[in-house]
Structure 1
């Protein structure tokens, strides 16, 4: 077959009912589609089999991770164009059944089955997490989910994140400004958190989800506080402990492999939770907020830095992103910022400030993609080609999601206000004194 691309383009357009905005190059070398557009490279027929078995995002993701699909040209432009073509709820049998009532769509699907060839379905890529039955967000399942994402090698994370080793959005003055590097922007984010918490020498800070120790080191070194950092990742903890030792801060920083539900040595003057609460889960969020509230002294502050999704009119119809759940953050859940604020207040906190920094995460993700692409050969050796492809797709797609306001990120400052009613915050809170 020397015209697979033209045949594939025609059949897909019949199914979708719209022209394809990208060019296609098929496994036989043939090409079809608008000249000059980003090219979707279909390296193997197995990609079609995956899409036929799992129409929508998960089928596309499996083909991408397996290396059967690729993109040539502007990655962001291609993802932007393709995202609008995927079934909004591709794994919903009712949506597919409705589409298949159309005789032309049924005929096109039969044509795709013939073009794909046997057998169906291919094996899942090794990078996809294998699900176990049982309840989500137990101590065991949370540790397993964290390990899947974070225990892939500290060298790989150094390549992607850069010297700062901060895995949450940086705080940019302006990305194009002179001197606005990823490292300085991450430093500015850690300093912003420190100022919001009003850290002072002699205080105790609990850093929940401490990662590779960046916030713990910053707080101890630059603000003179004693820090307990907790993570469920063995590799993160080992890296953070070495970092603390190298900085000469072992007398002020303790790094533990510990679940936040098992911390019993409060009270603390302040708690930072930076990019960790997305792992907690909706059913456990009030418990999470209550546990942190109990660990704070009266007047203590919590800085909760968390990704949020846009609310849906029908929240019962919300579905976790299939690709993210299977390959990136197993069991992760995003909530609207209003839900987060309400849960913190239900736990007893007084929420004093919410700062939306959505655009900052888009800039950060694009810098991480640059780092990954620049070190691509090394990245594939450090992990696997499939794992590196997961990261490239997830970071680029996430950058677009932030840019298009499909998701956001917010810093919520909350206080365990004492019975006297004094919050300890200045009247003009954005001075962060």
Structure 2
């Protein structure tokens, strides 16, 4: 195993047919690769076994979560350089295939005995039955959100808002300021007025309903499937003296039966709905709104595919972060809302804002890394750091986007209630 790094770099470069864009430090202390580049630290041979057993993103993720891989240097630069290393799914030309097989034999010799160890325990397992049933969705939400409110407070900061903030050009703007700006933007787009009823679908830790009740005088219902979120939100509502105006429920959106509402906000929730339920989701929200009521749907979007039936969720995110989560192109979202009877009045892309938000969350996590590991476990803390850093790059590079779609349940009279200059938001 002497000079394992050089052997590893040589094998990978043979497989790639190109120079390795990062430096490598192996478990024996040896190093190889381009000087000055971020260093991929391979702490144990088990990492190679995981990657050989699951070529591509999931094998890398499992080794990362287990602490067998790490990055010495700029995490974002390393992720950008490593993005092209995932094994292609397409059939390779015969020469490339032969080269990869030869490299694979060398990597097997380095990796040691197969099969690999079991996946780290934070991986979602035991999913059975149809996707997006009430029970399976409840378990998926619990996996992501019921990991400890103290952990989320560390990452998100005082705002406790787990969605894209709304930034301005001032470099001194804080995360808290930007999240308050986003909450107020949602309220203004919904044209909230004192005495109205607001439904927040996927209310998280209660930040939006608190802002809407306190600043706009509404009565609000917030629903979530996370019991930890609900407990935290109810405590905040009680401390604000707003229990008579805010109702926090552990409830599936499919079980809400006390409409109509004057306005509905769905911020970062529709990603959990799934393609098979998205029309049902749109129909339910339409039926819960009074005629003239507004919907603000804030949702991450992926790019369209030539063959939409070929879409598959990201394997790392599906296994470790958002079980059963699905992204849709923004055009599909708009079409589905219109099919349900909504009139779409405005669409604002805020893609760059999410990249800025994620970088702040990663900075919070890195600044409190030991405490984060104590609160959520080392593996979960590593999952969140990798997920958030990779997502920041995806937004920056326009691989994914995020959009606020504002729609109205236009009454039969056709009077939408919108001003002629829509973006006055009054």
Asked if TM exceeds 0.5, the reply is: yes
Query: Residues 280-317 of structure 1: CA distance to partner in whole angstroms, max 9, x if unpaired?
Result: 00110000000000000000000000000011112122
Instruction: Kindly report which structure 2 residues correspond to 1:339-378, keeping only aligned pairs within 5 A, or say none.
Output: 339-378=332-371
Any idea what SS the aligned residue of 2:392 has?
helix
Any idea what SS the aligned residue of 1:297 has?
strand
For 2:4, the equivalent position in structure 1 comes to 4
What is the CA distance between 1:17 and its match in structure 2? 1.5
Q: Distance in 2 between matches of 1:389 and 1:206?
A: 34
Q: Distance in 1 between matches of 2:91 and 2:158?
A: 47
Q: Distance in 1 between matches of 2:108 and 2:358?
A: 37
Instruction: Kindly report which structure 2 residues correspond to 1:22-421, keeping only aligned pairs within 5 A, or say none.
Output: 22-89=22-89, 95=90, 102-174=97-169, 176-178=170-172, 180-421=173-414
Any idea what SS the aligned residue of 1:84 has?
helix
Any idea what SS the aligned residue of 2:71 has?
strand
Q: Distance in 2 between matches of 1:221 and 1:96?
A: 58
**Cα distance, 1:100–1:391 mapped onto 2, change above 3 Å:** farther
What is the CA distance between 1:132 and its match in structure 2? 2.1
**Cα distance, 1:48–1:96 mapped onto 2, change above 3 Å:** farther
Q: Distance in 2 between matches of 1:5 and 1:318?
A: 36
Q: Give the alignment's TM-score, normalised by structure 1.
A: 0.97
Verify the 8 A CA contact 2:346 2:407 in the aligned structure 1: yes
Verify the 8 A CA contact 2:223 2:252 in the aligned structure 1: yes
What is the CA distance between 1:133 and its match in structure 2? 2.1
Greater mean alpha carbon deviation, residues 96-105 or residues 345-354: 96-105
Query: Residues 200-245 of structure 1: CA distance to partner in whole angstroms, max 9, x if unpaired?
Result: 0000000000000000100000100000000000000000000000
Verify the 8 A CA contact 2:43 2:69 in the aligned structure 1: yes
The total of aligned residue pairs comes to 426
What is the CA distance between 1:88 and its match in structure 2? 4.3
Any idea what SS the aligned residue of 1:102 has?
helix
**Cα distance, 1:99–1:168 mapped onto 2, change above 3 Å:** farther
Q: Distance in 1 between matches of 2:134 and 2:97?
A: 48
Verify the 8 A CA contact 2:14 2:103 in the aligned structure 1: yes
In the TM superposition, structure 1's runs of 4+ consecutive aligned residues that sit over 4 Å from their partners are 96-101
CA RMSD of aligned residues (A): 1.1
Verify the 8 A CA contact 1:99 1:105 in the aligned structure 2: no
Verify the 8 A CA contact 2:15 2:96 in the aligned structure 1: no
Q: Distance in 1 between matches of 2:204 and 2:230?
A: 7
Q: Distance in 1 between matches of 2:275 and 2:87?
A: 26
What is the CA distance between 1:101 and its match in structure 2? 6.9
Query: Residues 25-81 of structure 1: CA distance to partner in whole angstroms, max 9, x if unpaired?
Result: 000000000110000000000000001000000000000000000001010000000
Verify the 8 A CA contact 1:156 1:383 in the aligned structure 2: yes
For 1:92, the equivalent position in structure 2 comes to none
Q: Distance in 2 between matches of 1:113 and 1:107?
A: 10
Verify the 8 A CA contact 2:150 2:375 in the aligned structure 1: yes
Verify the 8 A CA contact 1:76 1:396 in the aligned structure 2: yes
Q: Distance in 1 between matches of 2:272 and 2:127?
A: 17
Query: Residues 100-155 of structure 1: CA distance to partner in whole angstroms, max 9, x if unpaired?
Result: 87322211101111110013121110010003221000000000000000000000
Query: Residues 252-275 of structure 1: CA distance to partner in whole angstroms, max 9, x if unpaired?
Result: 000000000000000000000000
Verify the 8 A CA contact 1:352 1:414 in the aligned structure 2: yes
Query: Residues 351-370 of structure 1: CA distance to partner in whole angstroms, max 9, x if unpaired?
Result: 00000000000000000000
Q: Distance in 2 between matches of 1:375 and 1:147?
A: 24
Any idea what SS the aligned residue of 2:205 has?
coil
Query: What 5-or-longer segments of structure 1 have no aligned partner?
Result: 90-94
Any idea what SS the aligned residue of 2:423 has?
helix
Query: What 5-or-longer segments of structure 2 have no aligned partner?
Result: none
